Structure 1
Amino acid sequence: MAEALANISQVHDLGMIQIRADLARAGDAIAGAAGLAIPAQGMTVSDGTRRLGWMSPDELLLVLPRAELADTLAALNDALSTEHALALDVSDMRVAFRIQGVGALHVLMKLCPTDLAAMPVDALRRTRAAQAACGIWREGDGYVLIGFRSIADYLQGILTGAAMPGTGLEPR
């Protein structure tokens, strides 16, 4: 059997906080509590352990080590206490997979109807993987894909299947 195009692994130690607010009004408060600058549209900012991603004009996603989740959520809620805003722990409703290796892009190209090869390094792309809503960003020599936990087995299966060689989309 031929070697897989990429390694697929589920990430178990991530916390995720969804932030909804008027970013123009609350951006400084969010940045202070999150420890990261507010990203530009379609982008992320990261300090190596935390990543803050732009999801929509009034929505951000903060991805961080699960051990830092409670304190950071409390800091965000305190910082946003005078704003019409929401900071919500969505860790248990999301699942994350790392797709790593030289064929990581090709695995995602089999599944996603978007040009991930043209995606800037610090971008966050909301798209679909075989009709399942997901978000994707680059990490090291690969990518992280997040989706709904209710379809974690499905995502694991399609990613693993797409990592199998033999479809003509392998890197040359």
Structure 2
Amino acid sequence: MAEALARITQVDDLGMIQIRADLARAGDAIAGAAGLAIPDEGRVTSDGTRRLGWMSPDELLLVLPRAELADALAALTDALSTEHALVLDVSDMRAVFRIQGARAVQVLMKLCPTDLAGMPEDGLRRTRAAQAACGIWREPGGYVLIGFRSVGDYLRGLLEGAAVPGSQLDPR
């Protein structure tokens, strides 16, 4: 029996906070409250358990263990209380999948119109998996894909289908 190209698992224990603000003005306050440096464009900063991802010129996404969500939300809200900013728990709006294994990038390359193989270790890409908007970043042994929960079943099916044993891409 052939082995799947990657292991696809849904992750349910992460919290996510969307942060919208003038990053030039509020960057230090966000970094202090999040406990992570502000990432450069298209990058992620991490301490191993938390990730702060650059989503757009005025938007960041903090991904952390769900158990830390309430404290982080309160710290960010307090730190940005004097700024024109949005701090929003978007955890329940998102579906998260881990794509792990030596051929994980092949699974994603079948679905996404972006060069994930060339993505730096600390890179984050906003793209599409088939027709579903998503964000993708690297982690040890593979990738993490986030999308809207409303298309979570669709994303799971796409990922599992792209990982079917024997479906690797032609190396030519």
- Alpha-carbon RMSD: 1.3
Asked whether the 8 Å contact 1:5–1:107 carries over to 2, the reply is: yes
Q: Deviations over 1:57-83 (max 9, x none)?
A: 000000000000001000000000000
Summarize the alignment of residues 51-90 of structure 1 with structure 2, pairs less than 5 Å apart. Answer: 51-90=51-90
Q: How many residues align?
A: 172
For 1:48, the equivalent position in structure 2 comes to 48
Unmatched tracts of structure 1, length 5 or more: none
Check the 8 A contact 1:103/1:170 in 2, yes or no: no
SS at match of 2:128: strand
Unaligned runs of 5+ in 2: none
Could you tell me how far apart the structure 2 residues matched to 1:84 and 1:133 are?
A: 27
Distance 1:109 1:115 in 2: 8
Task: Please state how far the C-alpha of 1:170 moved relative to its aligned partner.
Answer: 6.1
Return the alpha-carbon distance in structure 1 between the equivalents of residues 64 and 45 of structure 2: 12
From the superposition, tell whether residues 137 and 157 of structure 1 become closer, same or farther in structure 2 (CA, over 3 Å).
Answer: same
Identity rate of aligned residues, in percent? 82
1:78-130 Cα deviation digits (max 9, x unpaired): 00000000110000000100000011000001100111011011011000001
| TM-score, with length taken from structure 1 | 0.97
Contact 1:109/1:116 (<8 A) preserved? yes
Instruction: Give the match for residue 129 of structure 1.
Output: 129
Once residues 38 and 87 of structure 1 are traced to their aligned partners in structure 2, the CA distance between those partners, rounded to angstroms, is 15
The one-letter amino acid of 1:137's match is W
Read off the aligned partner of 2:149 and give its amino acid letter. R
1:135 CA displacement: 0.2
Rounded to whole Å, the distance in 1 between the matches of 2:167 and 2:79 is: 50
Query: Which residue is 2:163 aligned to?
Result: 163
Aligned to 2:35: 35
CA distance in 2, matches of 1:98, 1:153: 14
- The residue aligned with 1:104 is 104
2:137 maps to amino acid: W
Once the two structures are TM-superposed, the CA of residue 2 in structure 1 deviates from its matched residue by 1.7
Deviation per CA, 1:3-28, whole angstroms, max 9, x where unpaired?
10000000011000000000000000
TM-score, normalised via structure 2 length: 0.97
The answer to whether the 8 A contact 1:31-1:37 is kept is yes
